Structure 1
Amino acid sequence: MSLEVVVLVLFGAALHATWNAIIKAGTEKSLDAALVSAGGAVAALPFLGLLPLPLPAAWPFIGGSAILQFAYFQLVAAAYRAGDIGLVYPVMRGVAPLLIVASSGYVLGETLSGGALAGVVTICAGILTLAFEARHGSRRAMLLALANACVIASYTYVDGIGARRAGNPVSYTLWMALLPPVLLFAWAFSQRGTRHVRVNWWRGLIGGTGSIASYGIALWAMTKAPVAMVAALRESSILFALVISVVVLKERASPWRYIAGGLIAAGVLVLRLG
């Protein structure tokens, strides 16, 4: 993996942790998740006319991704209602690349090296370390985070393949961003109304721009390097989320979170080098 890809994916990881913190800090997490998704769509609109349409083979993947993204944002909101970002985020983002690396040989025919297997074991150690903190936290938050890790792994495969078939990964990303807000807002409005949106629209625009930029970088990188490796490297966002949880959101972090964050980051690094 080239240095250019590594640096851009790490930048995208920082953006990803930031927009998750925006949702966690909000008072209406389902609506904030919908706002972030809508913000991504607004950020995408000005560029649609400048890029070619995705090739026909990519459109089924765009549709499938929209459904998975809807499930993803719903689970993000539910998990952040149940637990701290410093606990929920590492589980969501740490387990997902583990699932991808473990199954990529069957799904994509990618061969796992010894270094990749070592990275999987290290990430597992980090996730098991978080289980110690879960004894004193919300088990519901942990279960929601684990469920969302499965969704993340699923849409990573869908979008990784879709971006490769689209002919232009940026165009795929922008079109993919348009459908989830429709589903999310329909659900959120039916539950909570519109006042929160009028007051907090700017949060969605900032978070959504960061979200679409982060994911666009990842999909571009997946056209340059194996999907499993990009997905794993992207999860360095765990460290950014840990810093945000302590410094910005003032969450209390036990030593287990720091140990887990370090182990997960080390596993990501091993996967990168492997």
Structure 2
Amino acid sequence: MSATALALVLAAAVAHALWNRLVHGIEDRVAVLSVAGFAGAAVLSPALVLRPPVGAGPVAGGVPGGWPAAVWGLAVLSGVAEAVYCGLLAAAYRRGSLAVTYPVGRGTAPLLVTAGAWLLLGQAPGLAAVAGAVTLAAGLVLVAGVARDLGEHASLGWALGVGVAIATYSVMDAAAVRRLADAAGAAGAAPPLAAAGYLSVTLFLQGLFLALALRSWSRLRAALRTGALVGVGVVLAYLLVLLAFQRADAGRVATLREASVLLAVALTPGPRPRTVWLGAGLVALGAVLVAV
């Protein structure tokens, strides 16, 4: 992994842990995450103007507009997966502390993403990745034990679902960004611009699907300020990851950013058992081993 990709992933980890801490501390999480999707899409919308996702005519610099059909399909599926992720995240945070739910949700994803990247993208894991998977599993077992001791075991199933959703949209997004990069490479377009436009569409769909599920404009209005702030954090974290996907294997990117679990534990208010620190540390170590 290049130094640029490493810096992008670590910066994304910090931003991700911070916006999750904010979401965990509020009541109407689904409404906030819906607004966050719309806000993030709005922030990135200029990318859709500079490089339109539809149309075959040339735009600035002679670069053709329009995304490959496969990218549109992946964007819709990713939007659905991200909306499901938000719902599962809200349910997990309602039942458990950040120190428990965040490591389980984020730690489950790398195992699944690595497998998905291997099967779908042909990025086979090496011996370090296998060792990382074992370490990750051990860390997850320890954190699950803490959840049981704290009476937060009801959050574990939801947190595991969060991991499945993360793995699902991560593999989809990695495939979409690679396709956009391939298409742009032939025409000389800037891949970051295409990635930003893709993220704008998926975030809008996330917000739309959640808003349709809520069917409450009053809840969305009440969540405007917090949702906008979360949206900025989401854009910063996720765009950094999308850019990193262009510079490193999907499995390595998605696993290395799981170092954010230690920061999430540190941001959790109140006492934290030593075991949860150990479990989160093993999850982070496993992520690093997979990224080597």
TM-score, normalised relative to structure 2: 0.86
**1:81 maps to 2:94:** yes
Instruction: Please report how far the alpha carbon of residue 103 of structure 1 lies from its aligned counterpart in structure 2 after TM superposition.
Output: 4.1
- Residue identity matched to 1:81: R
Return the alpha-carbon distance in structure 1 between the equivalents of residues 153 and 237 of structure 2: 29
* Number of equivalences: 266
Q: 2:167 aligns with which of 140, 153, 156?
A: 153
Spell out the pairing of 1:114-193 with structure 2 (5 A cutoff): 114-136=127-149, 137-167=151-181, 168-188=194-214, 190=215, 193=216
Instruction: Please report how far the alpha carbon of residue 233 of structure 1 lies from its aligned counterpart in structure 2 after TM superposition.
Output: 0.8
Return the alpha-carbon distance in structure 2 between the equivalents of residues 31 and 93 of structure 1: 22
Contact 1:56 1:166 in 2 (8 A): no
Return the alpha-carbon distance in structure 1 between the equivalents of residues 241 and 84 of structure 2: 20
Contact 2:100 2:143 in 1 (8 A): yes
> Which has the greater radius of gyration?
2
Instruction: Please report how far the alpha carbon of residue 236 of structure 1 lies from its aligned counterpart in structure 2 after TM superposition.
Output: 1.3
Question: 1:270 maps to what in 2?
Answer: 289
- Residue identity matched to 1:264: V
**1:60 maps to 2:73:** yes
The SS at the match of 2:8 is helix
Contact 2:139 2:279 in 1 (8 A): yes
Spell out the pairing of 1:75-114 with structure 2 (5 A cutoff): 75-114=88-127
User: After the TM superposition, which segments of 4 or more aligned residues of structure 1 sit over 6 Å from their partners?
Assistant: none
- Residue identity matched to 2:17: A
Question: 1:39 maps to what in 2?
Answer: 39
Q: 1:194 to 1:175 in 2, by over 3 A?
A: closer
The SS at the match of 1:179 is helix
Q: Which runs of 5+ in 2 are unaligned?
A: 54-66, 182-193
Contact 1:84 1:251 in 2 (8 A): no
The SS at the match of 1:253 is coil
Return the alpha-carbon distance in structure 2 between the equivalents of residues 56 and 16 of structure 1: 30
Return the alpha-carbon distance in structure 2 between the equivalents of residues 202 and 9 of structure 1: 27
Query: Structure 1 vs Structure 2: percent identity of aligned residues?
Result: 30
Question: 2:254 maps to what in 1?
Answer: 231
Q: 1:211 to 1:139 in 2, by over 3 A?
A: same
Q: Root-mean-square deviation (CA), in Å?
A: 1.6
TM-score, normalised relative to structure 1: 0.91
Instruction: Please report how far the alpha carbon of residue 164 of structure 1 lies from its aligned counterpart in structure 2 after TM superposition.
Output: 1.0
Question: 2:243 maps to what in 1?
Answer: 220
Return the alpha-carbon distance in structure 1 between the equivalents of residues 288 and 79 of structure 2: 30
Larger deviation, residues 4-13 vs 104-113: 104-113
Contact 1:30 1:78 in 2 (8 A): no
Instruction: Please report how far the alpha carbon of residue 196 of structure 1 lies from its aligned counterpart in structure 2 after TM superposition.
Output: 4.3
Return the alpha-carbon distance in structure 2 between the equivalents of residues 259 and 125 of structure 1: 10
